[in-house]
Amino acid sequence: MAPRAGLRDHPEMLIAFNKPFGVLCQFTDRSQPPRPTLAGFGLPPDVYAAGRLDHDSEGLLLLTDDGGLAHRLTDPRHKQPKTYWVQVEGDPGEEALQALRDGIELNDGRTLPARIERLDPPSLWPRDPPVRFRKTVPDAWLAITIHEGRNRQVRRMTAAVGLPTLRLVRVAIGPHRLDALQPGQWRAV
């Protein structure tokens, strides 16, 4: 019996990619001048991003050639936790941290509860351009795990409690982790 049209003749491909700062989560850009895209990193053909990271965010981006897998990774009904290491401006007090844990009222509704932990400054690659250092303004690092994926959600959450985001690095999506991948590197999962 011949296979039905549309059935895959290979298992789905899943790629973990460390998206550098300033790179768009797409393969083309029509703006002038064009901005850096995923096309410059030697990724396998026919993959596309399962979800997004803003151009000013860094870290784990999953890419696949399978629409069903992309849906399972990104649809909020599947509740894939996403963990970010976030450098914020200011010194987070317990009240701000608890508000983030409980959920924040944003202009598009209340966020789901999040897991929030203080972090020692993580050992990360240097960012280009570097985060502006201000001697008189403290900063802190948080690990934030959310189960949603609204537009610029983590940045809006931290801003809502008076802690603007300086740097945002996604380190995990569900069971998939960034691990030792450096910016621009990728591996098959």
Q: What is the set of active-site residues? A: 54
How far, in Å, CA of 169 to CA of 144, rounded?
A: 10
Identify the residue whose tokens are 């740097």.
167
Q: Taken in order 116, 121, 125, 128, is the CA torsion positive or negative?
A: positive
Q: Residue 165 belongs to what H/E stretch?
A: strand 165-173
Q: 3-class SS at 94? A: helix
177 backbone dihedrals φ, ψ, rounded to 5°: -120, 155
How far, in Å, CA of 39 to CA of 26, rounded?
A: 8
Q: Residue 87 belongs to what H/E stretch?
A: strand 82-89
Q: 3-class SS at 100? A: helix
Nearest to 113 by CA among 147, 80, 82: 147
